[in-house]
Structures are given as C-alpha cells and as structure tokens.
Amino acid sequence: MKVLILRFSSIGDIILTTPVVRCIKTQLPNCELHYATKKSFKAIVATNPYIDKVHVLDQSLSVLIQALKTEEFDLIIDLHHNLRTAIIKFRLGVAAHSFNKLNIDKWLMVRFKWNRLPAQHIVDRYMETLQSLGVENDKKGLDYFIPSIDVVHETVLPTRYIAFVIGAKFATKRLPNHKIIAICQSIAMPIVLLGGKEDMDNATEIAAACGAHVINTCGQYNLNQSASIVQQAALVITHDTGLMHIAAAFQKKIISVWGNTIPDFGMYPYLPNETAPSIIIENKNLSCRPCSKIGYSRCPKGHFNCMEQISNASITAAVHSLL
C-alpha cells in the first residue's frame, strides 16, 4: 500500500503527526509512506526513518499536485484538512481519510466560552483518522530525529542547565520580558535562552539583566540545533510553541506557560503513560480567555492579564519541584 500524509504547517502541528507516521509504517504491512509539507518545514520530517519520501509545497500547488499524481497513491491521510488539501484530494481522486479540526467547537469556545471540546489530545484525534485501517496508537509518544550534523556538542553547553524557550509565533502566547527576567533571576542554575532571529532583541535584554548564568543562543542555531539543546536540558520552560512539542518528543520535564491559548484545545505536551512530568501554568480566572485559537500581536483588551497575572513564583516553584 502506498500512503500519502498531508500536513503543511506548522512546526508543532507537524511534530504532533509523528505518532501517525510511526504507527502506519509499523502496523501496515509493506506500506510505502510519503509525507507532503511546506518547503520551510521539510527539515522536520526529512530524517524521519518511518517516511520513505517527502514532497514539498514551495510556491505552486499545481506543481506539487503533478508530482503527487505520478506516485499513484492508494490512500491519503489528510491531517491538515483545509482548502489546499481538499484540492489535492480532488485532483488525485483516491480514497482519503481526513482529520476533524473541530473548528466550530473552537469558535464557540473563543467567541462564547462554550466548552464543547473533547477532553482529548490532538494526537489521539489524529489517530482516529486511522481507525478503519486497524491502526492503533502505540502510546510511544512523539518523534523528533536530529541529523548528526546538527547535534550541538555538550562542550559548548553548561554541564546541567534549564532551556527557556522565550519565543512564540504570536506575542499573546509569550511572557513579557520583565517576567522572564524576574523568573531567570530567581533561578540559580544555568539557563539557556532559545528562540529564533525574531527573538534576538528580547533575548539580549533578558540576558543583560540577568547576569552570566543566563546564556543567550537566540538566532544562533537552526531548528534542529535548538532541538539538540532541548534534548540535553535538565528541564524545559516553554510557551505554547513548536519547541514545547520537541521537548515532549524527547520526554523532557516540561513547564509550559499559556497565555491567550488554552490546553483544552488539545495541544498541551503529549507525554503518554506519564513518561515525564509536566506542569501547566495558566491563568484560569479570566472571562476573556481564550481570545483566539492561535494568537495576536497584542492583547485585544489591552491589559494582557493572561500573562501579566501569572505568578512568577509559581513558575520558580515548578522548577524546584521538577528538579
């Protein structure tokens, strides 16, 4: 059987599909497994040993479709379920199973705070698309494979450290600098700041205010190298972002801090069978939260209480409890 998985973005969402990839490959006899994603996310799946071939969407959807047509797939597993994937499924004309995104339930939660969301992780909902195939969740968690060239050598890192993922795609998912500084100042052990080039200015301010025990690596490493730093950390503090799911793939101790989004959307750290301890920090006492299923560049209400009212001490206490 020749199977195509569709998931175009983003980092965390793609990582959350890895149990589907592994379970299909290991449970369907003689399965040839292909994966289609955006070119910018190819590195996430390129070294996955359960994937036989990766197809990328660069600019033209029609070019991708023509390439996919030549493969003559038997089945499509659509884990993105948007207009692009609908066009692909129509043009390829083969059997398909599609993920239920629960968009109406999410909208009701955001707009009216009516919680009709299932008490279920998104990984388990991804796996439901495979029920008719007889493929079951092996409960082995997420996968992330770092190529040897991107492994950050331990000699450039502190002997034992906390990885603090300070970035997030949207500002409303990120702690303000003053709170990150206060948290870092309250922790004695080395802290490595992680983030992309867009986080460099914030990281410079945080590191300058905290002293030598805080090491700024933001913008210095690619995603796989940042994943290597996460893999070697004693503990990871993170926002609701892709590196949170990478930390879960490595079964690290995780403190996840939530702003305008909520764990109820099903995207919290996936650690089946309690393979590692995880602590969720969030402000549950706000009538305006969640204000979005994704995020904003600034708080719509202007107060940003979902992050501002989180106790710094609660995060420091979580660190001490896990270490």
For the chain, what are the domain ranges?
2-133, 148-322
Residue from 290, 313, 273 nearest 108 by CA: 290
* Tokens at 197, concatenated: 């080039």
- Average pLDDT in the 230-234 region? 98
Residue indicated by tokens 């589907």: 20
- CATH number for the region 2-133 comes to 3.40.50.2000
Please tell me what DSSP assigns to residue 189: S
**pLDDT for 134-190, tens place per residue?**
999 999 999 999 999 999 999 999 999 999 999 999 999 999 999 999 999 999 999
3-state helix, strand, coil in the chain (%, to 5): 40, 15, 45
Q: By percentage, how much of the chain surpasses pLDDT 90?
A: 98
**pLDDT for 96-139, tens place per residue?**
999 999 999 999 999 999 999 999 999 999 999 999 999 999 99
Check: CB of residue 110 under 8 Å from CB of residue 91.
no
CA-based radius of gyration for the chain: 20
Q: Does this chain's domain 2-133 share its CATH topology with 148-322?
A: yes
Length of the chain as a residue count:
323
pLDDT higher at 276 or 75 = 75
Mean pLDDT (the chain) is: 97
pLDDT higher at 146 or 276 = 146
- Average pLDDT in the 63-86 region? 98
Name the CATH superfamily housing domain 148-322. Glycogen Phosphorylase B; (3.40.50.2000)
CA 77, CA 34: separation in Å to the nearest integer?
10
- Average pLDDT in the 261-281 region? 93
Tell me which H or E stretch contains 16. none
Q: Is residue 274 predicted with pLDDT exceeding 90?
A: no
Q: Please tell me the predicted confidence (pLDDT) of residue 276.
A: 86
Q: Is residue 275 predicted with pLDDT exceeding 90?
A: no
- Average pLDDT in the 237-255 region? 97
Which one-letter amino acid corresponds to residue 94? V
The 10 Å CB-count burial string (b at 16+, else e) for 296-317 is: eeebeeeebbbbeebebeebbe
Check: CB of residue 246 under 8 Å from CB of residue 222.
no
Confidence of residue 273 (pLDDT cuts 50, 70, 90): confident
Confidence of residue 59 (pLDDT cuts 50, 70, 90): confident
Neighbours of 17 (CB within 10 A): 25
Residue from 270, 271, 282 nearest 314 by CA: 282
CA 272, CA 140: separation in Å to the nearest integer?
7
Give the global pTM: 0.96
